[in-house]
Amino acid sequence: MMQYTQFAHDHYTFENIYLPFAVTDTFTQCAGELNQCFIHTWSTDPLVILGMRDQQLAQFKKGVDFLHEQGFETIIRNAGGLAVVSDPGILNLTLAFPKQMITSIEEGYQKLLDLLQASFPQLTIQAGEIADSYCPGSYDLSVNHQKIAGLAQRRVANGVAVMMYLSINGNQELRGKLIQTFYQLAESEKNQSFSFPKVNPKSMITISELLQQEWTLKQTIDQLAKQLTISQQFKTSQWIQSNQLESLLNQRFQSMLKRNIALKEGL
């Protein structure tokens, strides 16, 4: 049975905000090359991770300026299509697999759903689009029709990354209002061919609210690791440093940097 290798959880500040995306791509490529699964967990300072589709908004700059005024940095990610919030109360998680382990998009999503459900057996987690959440998708994860997580996938070389943002604690309604206002400002001219979400701030909820107690990112990571240990799919190890891996990480970092420099120059 394939084992996952977990690395320490990282918190990223504005100074190194491109790094988690580069690390995820590096792990995903290495998953295919080394025939090994990886887990990458991380959080950030207040950040809105924009999708490539968001750049089609008629008043995109106006929306981005609003986010900056609210104290949120912005970045264009390399997977997924629409805006999501990341901050110290949000857990970002990637499972990276060799591509032969994931025969369909649904299978990749199901692996993450099964892991999350096993980690929170007291919750009944369902998959299905929450249309009035931010970044809605067919594999939104929800409890009682309120979204707790969004999933995306990305392929890099012979690796597949299944990615999730999970709302652990903090004011989720305020996060929803932030993205609601962003789209209201940025879509003020109705000339797009793509329909952007009409965000309802009450459509999403945190794990802490559902459990009716303050829950932390560390507690969540420990629960995830426990389930992988029980299923004998978990081991800890150190990331092997080499010039080749450092070079790969730098390439991925530069790719994210160039994408976002081009964005900012276009605003």
Q: How far apart are CA 126 and CA 129, in angstroms?
A: 10
C-alpha 177/C-alpha 123 separation (Å) is 25
Sequence-separated (6 or more) residues with CB below 8 Å from residue 140:
127, 128, 129, 130, 133, 147, 149, 150, 151
**Residues labelled as active-site residues:** 135
Other Cβ atoms closer than 10 A to 44? 22
Q: What are phi and psi of 234, to 5 degrees?
A: -135, 135
Q: What are the backbone dihedrals phi and psi of residue 178, each rounded to the nearest 5 degrees, phi first?
A: -60, -50
Per the structure block, which two tokens stand in for 166?
Answer: 């999970």
Report the distance separating Cα 223 and Cα 229, nearest Å.
10
How buried is residue 157: exposed, middle or buried, by Cβ count under 10 Å (0-12/13-18/19+)? middle
Sign, CA torsion 53/199/107/75: positive
Q: Which residues partner with 186 through β-bridges? A: none
